[in-house]
Amino acid sequence: MATFALIHGGGGSARDWRLVETELRRMGHDTVAVDLPIEDPSAGLGDYADSVVKAVGDRTDLVVVAHSWGGFVAPLVCDRVKADLLVLVTAMIPAPGEPPGDWWANTGFQGPDTSDEVAVFLHDVPPDLAAEMLGGGREHAEKALLEPWPLDGWPDVPTRFLLCRDDRFFPPAFMREVVRERLGVTPDEIDGGHAPMLARPAELASRLAGYAGQRTGRS
């Protein structure tokens, strides 16, 4: 069985993963979901990664999973601990020296109008969960958005990318190109929008468990 370290996206929290955690634990896996210190104005990217490393502790058979903005943090975690696999779920892929705030222009991102957050991010999430997620949103302090991503290259860990076909924030065609350019791989795909951990927790957990069972080589 595997230990899944689950990293939320921008403005999110560990609670975003609770439905997926239930499914993974039902399958016999261990899970660790972490609240990144995104509201702390003194916390940088390294501090975010350290919060995950501390929560993981001495657990082994580690699969690091990141959603959306969490893609900036997960590779840093894999650089600090022995991970068997890194899974990016409709996540941002950093480049060496790139501040997260520059990612949008550097990738050519042309995003939608996000004034209706439900329509863009949560259109397929049950209304009660969508309302809860919006009500629990957290502000993101600037430091970690402005500092250069610190690694010289991608960590030496097998990596999978799971793209959401109905994502209205990161359109599939755009993300396929970003994944090809930045990771040199073809992404896997799943139905649903930008928050599959809330809209399709059982299906996402099944995908993650399947990846954990294939931890024998680089994707």
Question: Is there a domain that residue 217 lies in?
Answer: no
Look at the chain and report how many structural domains it folds into: 1
**8 A C-beta contact, residue 88 and residue 159:** yes
C-alpha distances (whole Å) from 119 to each of 13, 124, 168, 177, 195 are 20, 9, 8, 24, 12
Tokens representing residue 86 in the block: 């890194």
From first to last of its 219 residues, the chain has per-residue pLDDT tens of 999 999 999 999 999 999 999 999 999 999 999 999 999 999 999 999 999 999 999 999 999 999 999 999 999 999 999 999 999 999 999 999 999 999 999 999 998 999 999 999 999 999 999 999 888 889 999 999 999 999 999 999 999 999 999 999 999 999 999 999 999 999 999 999 999 999 999 999 999 999 999 864 333
The parent domain of residue 82 ranges over 3-212
For residue 110, what is the domain's CATH number? 3.40.50.1820
Tokens representing residue 142 in the block: 């600037």
In total, the chain counts a number of residues equal to 219
Question: Is there a domain that residue 111 lies in?
Answer: yes
Residue 66 DSSP SS3: strand
DSSP symbol at 39: T
Which pTM was predicted? 0.95
Residue type, 91: A
Question: Is there a domain that residue 12 lies in?
Answer: yes
